[in-house]
A and B are shown apart, each in its own frame.
Chain A
Amino acid sequence: MVKLTIDGQPVEVEDGTTVYNAAKELEIEIPTLCYSDYLEPYAGCRLCTVKIEDGNGGYLATSCSLEATDGMAVVTDDEDVRHARKMVLELLLAKCPTVETLQELGAEYGIDKSRFEPPPKPEPEGEEDEGVIEAKEDRCILCGLCTRICEQRVEAYAISMAERGGDSFVTPPYEQPSPDCIACGACASICPTGSAKVYDRFNREIIHPELTLASNSAVRFATKQAVPNVPTVHHEDCIHFHQMENGDGLDACRICEEACPKECIDLDSEDELVEAEVGAIIVATGFETFDPTPIKEYGYGRLPNVITSLEFELMCRADGMTEGNVYMENGEKPGSIAIIHCVGSRDRNYHTYCSRVCCMYSLKFAHLIKEKSEADVFQFYIDMRSPGKDYEEFYDRLLEEGVIFVRGRGAEVTDIAERPEEDGKLIVQCEDTLVGSFRRIPVDMVVLSVALSPAADADATRRVFSIGCGGEGFFKERHPKLAPVSTTTDGVFISGACQGPKDIPDSVAQGSAAAAQALSLIDRGKVEIEPITASIDEDVCSGCKLCISLCPYTAIEFDEEKEISVVNTVLCKGCGTCAGACPSGAANQRHFKDKQLLSQIEGVLA
């Protein structure tokens, strides 16, 4: 440990601490433009200059690179220091007069006009290069943050300083787009002056840019309402994992680990299987929204301003990236919006069922639009389904709010104008079944009210729990009326949209019911088992193992010693699958053996 005084205040810091960091301990702020906690000190901007007393008038030194020593006396702000910093700022401003940070600092140090001329600009040789990183403009103060982060953290070595002194500039090798650049954006994110930028050299267009405005930091919150509300490291966006996988196993970055004061981040942690012994299981694995891309006639992903209901919902969210405002691709607010119902629902090409929630959320959208703007709202619906409590009243209210309801499935969304008023608009074509004619309605934006689909991995999930599913892939309850949250597997309950499309109130009610069922089972502490089970005749069974994989309750095991299949009567539900499948007739369902059934038939016919 070393003891020193800074501006007269004593402080004790660990060996090897810089004066800059020692001052930080005392909450004394020293200005700097080139320092980062996560990079080696560079002492490039010279702004962190401080005075070290030596009894002989003192000397100036850069605090970011100077190691604190015992008995050192540091002055961070006096006439000499300010004078030195002012000189530094004047020189920087001469090079980069437009940089706001410099202007503000300059004002602080009493500079109204730089005494120095900007350095002569080298004449560009040949054509202007279109590099991935453009650091040649006069916004660059040559602080070296970008080159250092690229070298020390990203370990990509894609950019470095070229030339010397006043002619220096940051560039990829040979001023060409660098194959070493991984487009991580670290340089741009750390640049204090906005000089380093990352842009798409292919000038690719993004159809609806506001929808991609979400934070692209690799460490982020899923949504602001996420429970539990903790950020996660997104593997696919993370520099560390990118370099691990694509950079020959480079152990790069790890800035987040250092930055977290609670040491919560461990990039080396791996997925682990947790085994838990439980008395009951509630499966609530939810749904997925239908991807409307296959419905070519709606142009999702092809036409600008055609978005899904979930994307629209994200835009409407007050804490979202557009702060609740609805924007079109060009940044303007739409003057008219069409909402097309039943996208992927009630459509024999996709899902034949009604997704139940779309009518109501579509009405909610209309209400939100009307609340915030003067935009016209068209609802293209087949049937308006508003059977819930107060739902019909909400529909009535929207009729009064001036929402236009067109009864007919939206047939096509096109941008090919047939009339002058359709120019530059999206045109929704449909058959208005109330008017009895075809209509073309030009709008600025189209919202597709997409269906609720079973989760993509629902089939794998249900196999884990040995529960059934209906034709559409939603999990099947044991009985639609009498056992709506139970499944054919005892102790496994289902709730929410994994069982079928439903809205939030229904999901909450069903979840509560499942919880109550699970509790009553746990409270009782025992389960009743099926009396009619399968049995396998030991003498007849040849151990062909045909029944084992067929048992939906995994109730059949193979006895390696006897080389026969054995039924676990606790798990067996007496479904009879094994009895039907057993080729030798060894497996039988008690009370329903072939010979018993035949005798009954004979009895009836006698």
Chain B
Amino acid sequence: MSNNDKAKFAFYWASSCGGCEIAVVDIDAVILDVAALGDIVFWPCATDFKYKDVEGYDDGFIDITFFNGAIRNDHEEHVAKLLRQKSKVMIAFGACSGLGGIPGLGNFYTTEELFQQAFEHSPSTVNPDNVRPQPSYDVPEGTVTIPAILDSVRALDQVVQVEYYIPGCPPQPQWIAAAVTAYAEGKLPPPGAVIAGESTVCDECPREKSDEKSITEIKRIHLVENDPEKCLLEQGIMCCGPATRSGCEAACVVAGQACRGCFGPTDEVVDMGAKLVSSIASIAVPETQEEIDALMAQVDDPAGYFYRFSLPTSMLFRSIHDMTEGQ
């Protein structure tokens, strides 16, 4: 714990895969600038600070908290609120904390359905006694507690107030550096800003785009050989690039993969999945209901595809078909 005038940074991981942590390290030499600029006062992945250390800080002690991961359980919710209280600036770091991310797809199911899959049905599970994890469990030595899972996955800003967003799965080093530099220079944008590009991936995509876009067939990228010079969407491959915020320098598309939309929508779009569906429908050629059904049948898991990173922050938020069941 440091009491000098240097800035205080905190990093935290909630419901995430750990990729965002790697992204922080991935900023290479800039990490030294960060270290020079300030002290890291909390980083469970890399340092040994404890929760009680954080609890001991004054409110607003931390200058910036980089918070990655969605809010899946009550412990994450608690830590998010704690860090909010102790931080001047809260940054939703990565797609999960900003939009809900991949864990957010859990909102298509009830907690009970998720548990059934995880503890009964998954092919690698052997659980004849149907044992389920319990939030608290009495053993002779006392009571063991683990975090309790919440009904729905939420993005960070659905739990606490958030100043900035650095999107991406994971975030790109240049934008992490940009955020740190902006802080150092006192040039942070107005609160609420997304620290990334303003336009969409197409703006940075080097592939050739024609005026005539029409979809007669939807192809899966691993089943076809795509022309590296030509717009993927024009080749019938579902690319989320046109609806996804720029800033990644079209990394996936340049590497021959379709954009998956991890940077989220632009400032102008309220619901990214709905926007994508609306766009794709606009350029789909089929007109009769049968033809449309046949075309849409070529998209495996359309809801998961179009809302891959943004379900909890979309207008849908979650499926409600049987929310009351098993609760």
A residues with a Cβ closer than 8 A to B are 537, 539-546, 548-550, 558, 563, 577, 580-586, 588, 594-595, 598
Contact = CB atoms under 8 A, between A and B. Distances in A.
A545 B213 contact: yes
Interface stretch (B2-10, B172-180, B199-207): B199-207
Contacts of A594: 268-270
Interface in B170-212: 198-205, 209-212
Contacts of B279: 546, 581-583
Contacts of A585: 265-269, 275
A548 B266 CA distance: 20
Contacts of B212: 549
A583 B200 contact: yes
B282 interface: yes
B202 A542 contact: yes
B199 A542 contact: yes
A586 B214 contact: no
B283 A550 contact: yes
Contact of A583 (B198, B204, B210, B275): B275
Given A581-B283, A585-B268, A594-B270, A540 B199 contact: yes
14 contacts: A539-B199, A542-B242, A543-B203, A544-B242, A546-B283, A549-B214, A580-B282, A583-B242, A583-B279, A584-B200, A584-B202, A585-B275, A586-B199, A588-B268
B15 interface: no
Contacts of A550: 282-283
A584 B270 contact: no
A594 B278 CA distance: 13
A190 B210 CA distance: 59
Contacts, number: 89
A548 B282 CA distance: 11
Contacts of A537: 268
Q: List the 9 closest pairs (A to B, CB-CB), nearest first.
A: A585-B268, A581-B282, A583-B243, A542-B203, A583-B242, A585-B269, A542-B202, A583-B279, A542-B200
A35 to B, nearest CB: 62
Contacts of B198: 539-540
Contacts of A582: 275, 279
Contact of A545 (B209, B265, B270): B209
Greatest chain B CB density within 10 A among A542, A546, A550 is at A542
Contacts of A540: 198-200, 266-268
B246 interface: yes
Nearest to A550: B282
B276 interface: yes
A548 B269 CA distance: 20
A577 B200 contact: no
A546 B270 contact: no
Given A558-B211, A594-B269, A542 B246 contact: yes
A545 B210 contact: yes
Nearest to A597: B270
Contacts of A545: 209-211, 213
Interface string B269-306: 11000011011001100000000000000000000000
Given A581-B279, A583-B243, A543 B270 contact: no
Contacts of A539: 198-199
Contacts of A549: 211-214, 283
Given A577-B282, A586-B266, 6 more contacts: A537-B268, A544-B231, A549-B283, A581-B279, A583-B275, A584-B243
Interface string B230-246: 01010000000111001
Nearest to A581: B282
A393 to B, nearest CB: 45
A563 B276 CA distance: 21
B268 A543 contact: no
B315 to A, nearest CB: 9
Nearest to B212: A549
Nearest to B198: A539
A551 to B, nearest CB: 10
A595 B203 contact: no
B213 A542 contact: no
